[in-house]
Structure 1
Amino acid sequence: MTERSKVLTQFNKNGSEKRMIIFILVLCTAVFLAFYPTLTNDFQQSWDDQWMLLENPIIFYPTWEEIGRSFLSFYHNQYSPINQLYYLGIYALAGFDPAAFHLGSVLIHTINAVLVYLLISRIIKLMKPALRPGTLSAVAGLIALVFAIHPLQVESVAWISASKVVLYTTFTLAGLLSYISYKKHKKYIYLGITFLCYIAGLMVKEQAVIFPLNLVLLDLLYRAYRKGHLRTAVWLEKIPFFLAAFGYWYWSAQNSVGVLELNMMYPWYDRIIFGGYSLIVYIFRFFVPVNLSHFYAYPMLSGEPMPLYYYGYIVLALLFVGYLYDLYRSKKWIPLFSLLFFVVNILLVLHIMPVPRGNITADRYMYLSIIGLSGWAVWQGGQLYLQFRNRKSWALSFTRMVPVLLLIYLGSFMLHSNTISRKWRDSETLKLDVKNHLYYMTAENRGEDEE
């Protein structure tokens, strides 16, 4: 390498580091502006905080025996010993101060936003696309910013009992980053770290069980850009991950976790319709996050007829699957990977498997999956922007307005998140919001006004 090449390399490296610092500062500021109202919120005495935290035995009897028991048993049909230790740590520092627990959730969410930025940056570098460093940072930063301030994230951040969601996501993102390092350097130490992150995620929330499929998605994307096929070794190295997933499922079943109550048992044909509905509604709420609520009721009780308009969601879901196939056939790997990442990480809550669930959908289920839809939206938006920019017409003038329109759109996300965060002030405020939402939905289904 010549002296000039060394200077250019160092210059680009310094520029990338400065851009990374700037984007991280922007993410931290955006999270604070969106979620600072949660710091003055109280516990949700009527929404799980009472048994999850305020009456948790490990808080009052933090003995080694009690801690060890938490790693070997389920608490209220949930296995989350690391989350319980997280509560114990905050309690040891600040007691039952709700501000301390809310601050913990905001800080972890901030860390996750930074991890998303680093993850997207490394995925793009791993594929070695023809992107300038500045463009690469902008793409990763935009995806991370949407993840950081989207109104669908409020439930996971503002609800103390949802700390399991933000915590398991931290381990998932750390594991994916470690796996990318393994793909790049071919050192098994990184694969070992990835496995440890997976086990830690399982000790926080059951949704982490899907993690091995995310690794397979990364493998497929990596091989697609190198025009190769997955080698046998790639599948063999996943065996410990799938064995851990099976072991976790078997242990849960032996402890009767996930047993259905009779009044929650919907037949398989209803669940398929619920799955199509949930898939499309999650996509819609991502782009138009309006009328969000803590509680989304099923449209009918088990045994009652399905509302006819729900069948339309099956058609939309099939069109979505057809679009995925078209992306595969066209070899558009980035948008395909993004949408599959979205689907994989909500797979467990699409009613395909009959698990007990009081809500037909929930905002917190989208916490990690938002990355996938955000990645697709940034890619699609970038493609449209490039098409219009190259035209000598009114479209060229429109493209000059894109940064302003994007700023307004993201600014509305931040303000909306800030507003929704205030609805989580206490249980009475949240109950009132849920009642208003249920009344609105009931009136809407009857074709009536909200009055």
Structure 2
Amino acid sequence: MRWVHYLGIAVMGMAVYSLRLKAPFTADDHFIFLKLQQGGVFGFASQPPSMFFRPLISLHYYLDYVLWGVYPLLSHFINLLWHTLCGILVWRLTYRLLIRWGWTPFQAEPAAYWSAVLFTILPANVEAVAWFAARADMVATAGALGALILLEQFQKQGKAILYWGAVLCFAGGLFCKESLLTFPVMAWLWLRYLGIPSAGRLLLPFWGVWLLYLVLRTWAIQGVGSYPHAWETLTRPWLLVVNGVAYLFQMGMPAILYGLGRDHWDTLIWGVWGLGMLLTLYGWRSQRVEKPASSIDWRLLMGLALLAIVPVIIFKPSPFYFLNSRYTYLASAFVVVGAGAWLYLMARRGAWLRAGLALVLVAYYGGALRQVDAWREAGDVARASLMSLRHTPSDTTLLILSLPDHFHGAYIWRAGFHEAVALLLPERAPQPMYVMSRFTMRLRTDVAVHFGEGVATLSSPQDIFLPPEGVRTPPGDEVIVMPDKLIVPLAIQRQGMVLLYSGGEFVPVYGH
């Protein structure tokens, strides 16, 4: 039966993410490929100077580059395979925990399947799967879940190979992404929960890997690394709590919060989800459900989930758009263990509960499809806008008023613009090219930039300009960036050809 469940997880993943497979790369994807092109197998996040130290994920990306080049279809498919693997690991972890909690195999198998399905279709996980650059989150999660499962098997069988396999899983995950820095504490909690004696002694190799990583990371980064503004969060402890709550809230959302009441699809998805939750609550209260004989240890699950998000709460989440939702990919694996088991128990208690839970799952599936489609459109916008530069003069400086930053929570040119030019338009790489700002595409991709008398505005009142980030800005006078307009000094306009974004392309401003 479990192989049928594994196949069901894979089919569900394909049903959600097939829209993204052929879509072009976006944002940081181009930065990664250019770094690999220039620096080889460990060209990305492995050597000084670097903000991050992720040598094994650099190897992952390099294999993509060597085997099929800059080809989105296969790279996105590999991401989907990792997501499927993580879904299967969620199934295995759920099953083993439920058996420990007194469930029968007949109960545990379908409950584990619902946990894995919920993990597979959770809209908050779309960023980690649909974005090539976020593969590190899935590989790190696979390493963490694999390590926990192997430690549980080690507790039962006592085989050293299982223990050292867990250490290797942790090392592989940590050297892919620093989000596993708290894993030794998670492993200690896990070993104590399993009742393994000498848990502290068994953790010594884990702490050894942890220390080795920090030493190498300090060498590669030559400092604390990460983004400077993220570390400023530590000066405001209350913000860490706010970020943590926001991440947990975002994890359970069916669609972006900004679309509620503004976009008909997002509003419909929220409506279905809300109705499902109301029916579930009504069914639960009307049935007067007694405490089930089969238990769920929420303290363990939430403890693991909170430890999983500790390394990332210095980064600001955005429930309005699902931005940075990839950071809760591992935490969501622990939450869905309990949620899927609870779903299974409640679905057996009455028609109202079954109807409500079915609507919630439909909302999550629809929300995931909506978000995957947003990443597809973001890729199309990134590709079309970049290729439109081929129609501009190559013998003059190009001054781009504003880059599209993200659409519906999917990154377009958050970063990687100049790297994309060097990678896909190498003949334009030497050409002076400057960017003055970014702008949002919150709900529509047909947003255009208008320009006249030195002032740029947006065609959509819902969208705003953002300061430039990760791009080359024009030398000389500073461009004034405000949410509703962009003021460009005449001295900058005279430096070259001014381009605005319209109709999916960068086009010259009339008169320039």
Counterparts in 2 of 1:405 and 1:194: CA distance versus 1, 3 Å? same
Question: Which whole-Å deviations, capped at 9, do the CAs of 1:120-176 have from their partners, x for residues lacking one?
Answer: 212333x2x432222101221111111111001110001111011111112222222
Instruction: Say if 2:30 is the partner of 1:50.
Output: yes
Normalising by structure 2, report the TM-score: 0.62
Instruction: Report if the CA contact (8 A) 1:349-1:365 is conserved.
Output: yes
Question: Which whole-Å deviations, capped at 9, do the CAs of 1:370-392 have from their partners, x for residues lacking one?
Answer: 12222333455567678xx4xxx
Letter in 1 for 2:406: K
Cα distance, 1:277 vs. partner? 1.4
Distance in 1 separating the partners of 2:234 and 2:184: 26
Question: Which whole-Å deviations, capped at 9, do the CAs of 1:385-434 have from their partners, x for residues lacking one?
Answer: 78xx4xxxxxxxxx223233322211221121111111112353762435
The one of 16, 20, 31 equivalent to 1:34 is 16
Counterparts in 2 of 1:333 and 1:218: CA distance versus 1, 3 Å? farther
Residue of structure 2 equivalent to 1:431 = 406
Instruction: Say if 2:339 is the partner of 1:377.
Output: yes
Residue of structure 1 equivalent to 2:122 = 150
The one of 396, 402, 416 equivalent to 2:367 is 416
The one of 94, 106, 128 equivalent to 1:120 is 94
Three-state SS of the structure 2 residue aligned to 1:84 is helix
| Structure 2: unaligned runs, 5 residues or longer | 259-294, 383-404, 410-439, 444-460, 465-512
Cα distance, 1:29 vs. partner? 1.3
Letter in 2 for 1:108: W
Q: Which has the larger radius of gyration?
A: 2
Three-state SS of the structure 2 residue aligned to 1:431 is strand
Residue of structure 1 equivalent to 2:60 = 86
Residue of structure 2 equivalent to 1:343 = 306
Aligned length: 352
Say which structure is richer in helix.
1
| Structure 1: unaligned runs, 5 residues or longer | 1-18, 224-229, 294-331, 352-356, 390-398, 443-451
Instruction: Say if 2:169 is the partner of 1:170.
Output: no
4+ residue runs over 6 A deviation: 69-72, 382-386, 438-442
Counterparts in 2 of 1:81 and 1:265: CA distance versus 1, 3 Å? closer
The one of 224, 248, 264 equivalent to 1:283 is 248
Distance in 2 separating the partners of 1:261 and 1:34: 32
Instruction: Say if 2:207 is the partner of 1:242.
Output: yes
The share of aligned pairs that are identical, in percent, is 19
Counterparts in 2 of 1:131 and 1:433: CA distance versus 1, 3 Å? closer
| 1:8-23 alignment, distance < 5 Å | 19-23=1-5
Distance in 2 separating the partners of 1:333 and 1:257: 43
Residue of structure 2 equivalent to 1:404 = 355
Cα distance, 1:359 vs. partner? 5.5
Distance in 1 separating the partners of 2:89 and 2:360: 23
Instruction: Say if 2:232 is the partner of 1:266.
Output: yes
Distance in 2 separating the partners of 1:76 and 1:370: 29
Letter in 1 for 2:338: W
Normalising by structure 1, report the TM-score: 0.70
Distance in 2 separating the partners of 1:285 and 1:340: 18
Instruction: Say if 2:172 is the partner of 1:209.
Output: no
Distance in 2 separating the partners of 1:400 and 1:376: 21
Letter in 1 for 2:362: G
Instruction: Report if the CA contact (8 A) 2:91-2:113 is conserved.
Output: yes
Counterparts in 2 of 1:199 and 1:93: CA distance versus 1, 3 Å? same
Q: Greater relative contact order (Cα 8 A, min sep 6): structure 1 or 2?
A: 1
Cα distance, 1:263 vs. partner? 5.5
Distance in 2 separating the partners of 1:377 and 1:176: 19
Counterparts in 2 of 1:162 and 1:242: CA distance versus 1, 3 Å? same
Cα distance, 1:441 vs. partner? 10
Letter in 2 for 1:266: E
Distance in 1 separating the partners of 2:39 and 2:208: 34
Instruction: Report if the CA contact (8 A) 2:121-2:365 is conserved.
Output: yes
Letter in 2 for 1:273: W
Letter in 1 for 2:22: T
Cα distance, 1:283 vs. partner? 2.3
Distance in 2 separating the partners of 1:364 and 1:80: 16
Instruction: Report if the CA contact (8 A) 2:305-2:332 is conserved.
Output: yes
Distance in 2 separating the partners of 1:42 and 1:87: 16
Letter in 2 for 1:377: A
